[in-house]
Amino acid sequence: MSEKIRVVHYLNQFFAQFGGEEKADIGPGFKEGPIGPGRALEQALGQQGEVVATCFCGDNYFAEHLEEVTEELLLQMASFKPQLLIAGPAFESGRYGVACGAIGQAAQERLGIRAVAGMDAENAGTGLYRKKVYIVDSGSSVVRMATVIQRMTALGLKLVQGMPLGRPEEEGYFPRGIKRNTFAAKPPAERAVDMLLAKIRGELFESEIATPQFHHIKPAGAIRDLSSAVIALVTDGGLVTEGNPERMEPGRPTRFTTIAVEGIDRLDSKEFDVVHSGYDTAFANQDPHRLVPLDVMRELEQEGVIGKLHESIHTTGGAHAAVENATRIGQGIAERLKSAGVSGVILTST
Amino acid sequence: MRLEMGHIYIEDVRFGSRTTIEDHTLLIDRQELISLLQQEPLFDSIEIDLAHPGESCRIIYVLDVLEPRYRLNGPNFPGALEAMGLVGDGRTQALKNVSVVEVSPDQARGRNIIDMSGPVTDYSPLGATHNVVLIPHAAKGADGDEYRLAVKKAGLRAAVYLAAAAKEIAPDETQIYELPPTAFNCGPKELPRISYIFPIHSQQHPTHQRETVFYGSNIQGFLPTIVHPNEILDGALMFSYSAFTYFAQNHPVIQELYRRHERDLWFAGVVVTVAPVTIGEKQRNSYLAARLASEVLGADGVIATKIGGGAVDTDLMMIYERCEEMGVKAALIIMERYPDTGITFVPANVNALVTPGLTRDPIVLPPVERVIGGDTLFLDNTNPDNTNPGVSAIPANRELRIWVGDIVGAISQVGASRLMTYMG
């Protein structure tokens, strides 16, 4: 018989049986074995796992000392060598939900174990942590405790055992914003025709891909005096120094690099390369100015149209960037340019 | 115009002393086929291999795939292989359950993979066909682009050569594809008129000057035009990249519109277009394509697909918006690539998207006994996302961790796919 999966359970002061709101200030602690809803958890685990310890903290104390409490709980949790953390369910309680999300994410990232939380859709913790931690939809009523614990346990066991997960609605967790493939009952062409005919008939239909939501970015104000402005060149077209010594990724970038151009008037094609998987780079390789107009910018600098060209070109390869990485790359470049006193950027894409 | 597609079901493919079809077995005179293809001066030599369904066999470096076809009343692949002429009418013989697979060693295509057994067969129809694999070796000093075009031409030649064996054979089944001229293609009022807008290429990777994509044209500067859907099915089109010609010959959208023609819709024809590279050209082609569908074909609704990378998403969205502005309802088939990226260019009013699946979804292929097309692959087997230059070569027969999108025929942008996605 295989060994039982070691599970740690997180509860707030109420479910850990210290008391209600009046005990919300108690600090973090640990007890061996299950407490309160932990017994339902133990039952749900059956022969497959055991609750080795329960950790707890008052909701207010956790909210006010988020980092310290997380640190302290992780430290103690590690000594129990768990494989799975079950946090909650917290139902509608917002502070409890946030605590479950925080400890779940920390346990995953720092102890390398799996975590499952339980919360109501309206819980603040759901919005904050659903992309990081699997959160089972608990609904708002504590009456459903046993059912919710069963769902959380089933999901947790699958995660630990590396078994494939079903759809969110089958497993009962909130979608995490990660797309997955599944075999379809009908081929795409048939589904497309079905959708189009429903649309024409004015019937209800649902697009298979939701419209992405982007943050609105307020454009910076216009530069009042170009002749004293420092202008920088930035590109996501994959300009690198010859031979790509920094191994810039031609697609799916995770970082940017800089090319020093102080005292350089032209980008010699022998000294630069273009790596980018999304377009034909032959023309930019022949003459890098087709990608990054250093030559023209130097002329404008000479003529006094602009004050000064910034001393380095910031560059990355833009193909298929994950929005998260692209955002981070953009913020990184913007911070450096801003601290260097740059007031305008020529951004060339492909 | 009427096309009679004769389906000849092949149950086995073997090498034999002459090329013929006997009792649903295709026998191939290997030497005759090699001699035919070896006339190409850009090839040093050419090998022909067979891969059968269920075999522990992997085909790598796949360039294009075709279904063997022979036209009884006119030229085959006119402009690309044989003399200029027209296709889409008369009778064509099609060898079902057989594919011609072109292999050409090029690092970028290494990950175009077909396994003849294991999980691949759940995803792609091409793991379940008897595959006649062409492995042409480039002559010394052959230009890379010219060699690639020669390999594709060899594929056409082989597809015609094999199906010519069915010249005298009565088809097991005949599929009729027939639509009247547009002016008479009206149908009853109660059936919605549906057209298909089909961008066949994205010039973000420009076609070669001598590339034969549409009736032999390199489609540079191509303007939207109306074609008969039968032409797409019958050899007018050979994809340049990012799609396999097998799925033009067996086009899922065209076949679906034919299947439902006169039942719950009226198939109102096809507009072929190309995704250009500049904004002005993109605008022009999307305006013209939508206008042709709306005012010339009189469509109530349009299905549109794309070929190419993320850049052509913009063209597809423009086509959608122009159609809707003209009062034509639209639905798009658009492939998803990364689990965390989504489709970047989706205007707020676009509400009818169908996904043939997510390409960057990891899949593990078990080891195989035999590999056709090469011994090694340039692949980071711990992280298929790693496209860093300098990824080292690994033996191609071992367990591989690749993307579902690397499986030839698993996710085609024209809608050949068994997949859909969900937000997990």
Q: What is the pLDDT along chain A (350 residues), one digit of tens a residue?
A: 468 999 999 999 999 999 988 999 999 999 999 999 999 999 999 999 999 999 999 999 999 999 999 999 999 999 999 999 999 999 999 999 999 999 999 999 999 999 999 999 999 999 899 989 999 999 999 999 999 999 999 999 999 998 888 889 899 999 988 888 999 999 999 999 999 999 999 999 999 988 776 778 888 899 999 999 999 999 999 999 998 888 888 887 889 999 999 999 999 999 999 988 878 888 999 999 999 999 999 999 999 999 999 999 999 987 777 777 788 899 999 999 999 999 999 999 87
Q: Could you tell me if B320 and B185 lie in one domain? A: yes
B298–chain A Cβ distance below 8 A for any pair: no
Virtual CA dihedral for A94, A100, A103, A105, nearest 10 degrees?
-100
Virtual CA dihedral for A59, A60, A63, A67, nearest 10 degrees?
-90
Q: Which of A4, A12, A13, A117 is nearest to A51 (CA)?
A: A4
In a domain, A214, yes or no: no
Q: Could you tell me if B133 and B196 lie in one domain? A: no
**Which of B 210-269 lie inside 8 A of A, CB atoms?**
252-253, 255-257, 260, 264-265
Judged by CB atoms closer than 8 Å, whether chains meet at A200 and B385 is answered as: no
What pLDDT shows up at residue A1?
45
B188–chain A Cβ distance below 8 A for any pair: no
In a domain, A218, yes or no: no
* Residue where a domain terminates, one of A171, A193, A217: A171
Judged by CB atoms closer than 8 Å, whether chains meet at B351 and A207 is answered as: yes
Q: Per DSSP, what are the bridge partners of residue B400?
A: B365
Of A196, A207, A279, the CB nearest to B303: A196
Q: What is the DSSP letter of A176?
A: -
ipTM: 0.96
Average pLDDT over residues B116-124: 96
* Residue where a domain terminates, one of B320, B354, B388: B354
* Residue where a domain terminates, one of B329, B354, B379: B354
How many independent structural domains does chain B possess?
A: 2
**Which of A 267-306 lie inside 8 A of B, CB atoms?**
275, 277-280
The answer to whether B354 touches B332, Cβ cutoff 8 Å, is yes
In a domain, B406, yes or no: no
Q: Could you tell me if A235 and A119 lie in one domain? A: no
Average pLDDT over residues B96-112: 88
DSSP string over B162-227: HHGGGTTPPPSEEEEEE---GGG----TTSPEEEEEEEEEETTSPPPTT---BTTB--TT---EEE
A209–chain B Cβ distance below 8 A for any pair: yes
Judged by CB atoms closer than 8 Å, whether chains meet at A249 and B387 is answered as: yes
Q: Could you tell me if B184 and B153 lie in one domain? A: no
Is the C-alpha dihedral spanning A90, A95, A98, A104 positive or negative?
A: negative
B319/B286 Cα distance (integer angstroms): 5
* Residue where a domain terminates, one of B354, B372, B400: B354
Q: Could you tell me if A253 and A341 lie in one domain? A: yes
Judged by CB atoms closer than 8 Å, whether chains meet at A210 and B336 is answered as: no
In a domain, A239, yes or no: yes
Strand spans (E) along A228-316: 230-235, 239-241, 257-260, 272-274, 308-309, 312-315
Q: Could you tell me if B314 and B347 lie in one domain? A: yes
Of B330, B357, B388, the CB nearest to A249: B388
How many independent structural domains does chain A possess?
A: 2
Q: Could you tell me if B228 and B304 lie in one domain? A: yes
Give how far Cα B58 sits from Cα of B51, B116, B377, B407, Å. Answer: 8, 6, 12, 11
Of A181, A191, A207, the CB nearest to B361: A181
What pLDDT shows up at residue A323?
72
Residues B289-318: pLDDT tens digits?
999 999 999 999 999 999 988 889 999 999
**Least CA distance to A130: which residue of chain B?**
B424
Q: Which amino acid is it at A345?
A: V
Domain that holds residue A11: 5-171
B88/B93 Cα distance (integer angstroms): 12
Q: What is the DSSP letter of B359?
A: S
The answer to whether A196 touches B329, Cβ cutoff 8 Å, is yes
Q: Could you tell me if B71 and B208 lie in one domain? A: no
SS3 for B30-74 is HHHHHHHHHCCCCEEEEEEEEECCCCCEEECCEEEEECCEEECCC
B107–chain A Cβ distance below 8 A for any pair: no
Residues B89-100: pLDDT tens digits?
999 999 999 999
Judged by CB atoms closer than 8 Å, whether chains meet at B264 and A178 is answered as: no
Q: Could you tell me if B147 and B206 lie in one domain? A: no
Domain that holds residue B45: 2-174
